[in-house]
Homo-oligomer: A and B are copies of this chain.
Amino acid sequence: MLSNKGRLFIISGPSGSGKDTLLVKLFKAVPEIKFSISSITRPMRENEKPGQKYNFISKDEFENMIKNNELLEYNQFLGNYYGTPKAPVIKAIENGDDIVVEVDVNGAAQIRNNVPDCTSVFILPPSLEALKTRLHDRGTESEEKIRERLLCALDEIKRANEYDYVVVNDDIDTALNDLVGIIRLDRLKIDRNLDLINKILEK
């Protein structure tokens, strides 16, 4: 039984949680889920396309969005802005679509203030050892950079308790099933079914 409105799902997870691979699998498995495209002001990289994961806009455009309250959350990092535009998320929810926003713990906290009626999921590595191994296995970064990423990951995990659900990404297919289940079963929550209950009672 489907409720009419869609829902916003916030997904976060530290570097090494395998969140990105999991999200790619999620959108293949459940193509009707919408994905929020971030607006950012840093230059486009060679392997990127506009409108895929990011919309590349100017600083002026971004600052106008801030001024007009058109963002669900935003952040500044190394002189560039990163943010989640409000309009596409609200439109998806009104259309009855579920929409996923991938953000860090700070972005998640900002979004919860703007859209309290959302569901948030934290992707967790199975253990500290697994996290360390995954950060090392990339093989492209210095020890110092890896150490920095690890501390950053631990800071994020400290705030996992702000989320509604935890998905442990040990076996990726299990994690995918868990994530799909969380999104699908959200439609059974009582606050998404009050219309149906009233419909039965009103007749």
Complex interface: chain B residues within 8 A of A161 (CB) = 190, 194, 197
Interface residues of A in 159-195 (CB under 8 A from B): 160-161, 163-168, 170, 178, 181-182, 184-185, 188-190, 193-194
Complex interface: chain B residues within 8 A of A170 (CB) = 1
Complex interface: chain B residues within 8 A of A168 (CB) = 1, 193, 196
A101 within 8 A of B: no
CA distance A37 to B181 in the complex (A): 30
Minimum-distance CB pairs A-B, first 7:
A1-B168, A166-B193, A165-B188, A128-B203, A181-B185, A128-B200, A160-B197
B178 with A185: CB separation less than 8 A: yes
Q: Distance (Å) between the CB of A107 and the closest chain B CB?
A: 18
B190 with A182: CB separation less than 8 A: no
Instruction: Write 11 A-B pairs (CB below 8 A) sorted by A numbering.
Output: A122-B190, A124-B196, A127-B200, A131-B200, A160-B190, A161-B190, A161-B197, A166-B188, A166-B197, A181-B184, A182-B185
- Nearest-neighbor residue (CB-CB) of A154 within chain B: B201
Known: A127-B199, A154-B200. 9 other contacts (CB 8 A): A1-B168, A124-B200, A128-B203, A160-B190, A160-B197, A166-B193, A178-B185, A178-B188, A181-B184
Interface residues of A in 120-150 (CB under 8 A from B): 122, 124-128, 131
CA distance A24 to B199 in the complex (A): 28
Instruction: Give the number of times this chain occurs in the complex, counting copies.
Output: 2
- With A185-B185, A196-B166, A201-B157 known to touch, is A126 a contact of B190 (CB < 8 Å)? no
B167 with A188: CB separation less than 8 A: yes
Q: Distance (Å) between the CB of A12 and the closest chain B CB?
A: 12
A158 within 8 A of B: yes
CA distance A1 to B128 in the complex (A): 15
Q: Distance (Å) between the CB of A102 and the closest chain B CB?
A: 18
